[in-house]
Amino acid sequence: MSDYESLNHSTWECKYHIVWIPKYRRKKLYKSIREDLGQEIRRLARCRECRVLEGHMMIDHVHMLVEIPPKYSVEQVMGYIKGKSAIYIARKYGNREKYFSGQHFWARGYFVSTVGRNEEAICEYIRNQEVEDMKMDQNLGLFPELK
């Protein structure tokens, strides 16, 4: 039972693979924004008693493996993280970049999948996502200078 968390009246293991994008899938998640935003997302998750087990930020989307207690829905946690992180980005980077308009940084919605017992496979997928995306872009001929 060491893999399980517990609350007052329940024992649980609720892990989710979540992916979301910036509005219009603009390529905005780069350089210092990646580092700052990664730390901020982890802090916001802790505020909702969640743990980010694995995470990776691509330039146009975010992958995250997160453990969410059953007293919160995925929708509640994602609404909180996306809303507060958009405010954080607008305050910190809003004056420097023309596309950081107000607090409308993230697109509506997200992808979520329960992890179950495939946790290690999902972690590996998240870790290697950037390499796989670059390979796909090269195969499609989108970035011939990378070959």
Burial label for 131, CB within 10 Å (0-12, 13-18, 19+), is exposed
With beta carbons less than 8 A apart as the criterion, state whether 29 and 97 touch.
Answer: no
Helix (H, G, I), strand (E, B) or coil at 127: helix
Catalytic residue among 72, 80, 93, 125: 125
**Residues 64, 140, 28, 52, Cα dihedral to 10°:** 10
With beta carbons less than 8 A apart as the criterion, state whether 63 and 19 touch.
Answer: yes
The answer to whether residue 125 is catalytic is yes
128, two tokens: 């290697």
Catalytic amino acids?
Answer: 125
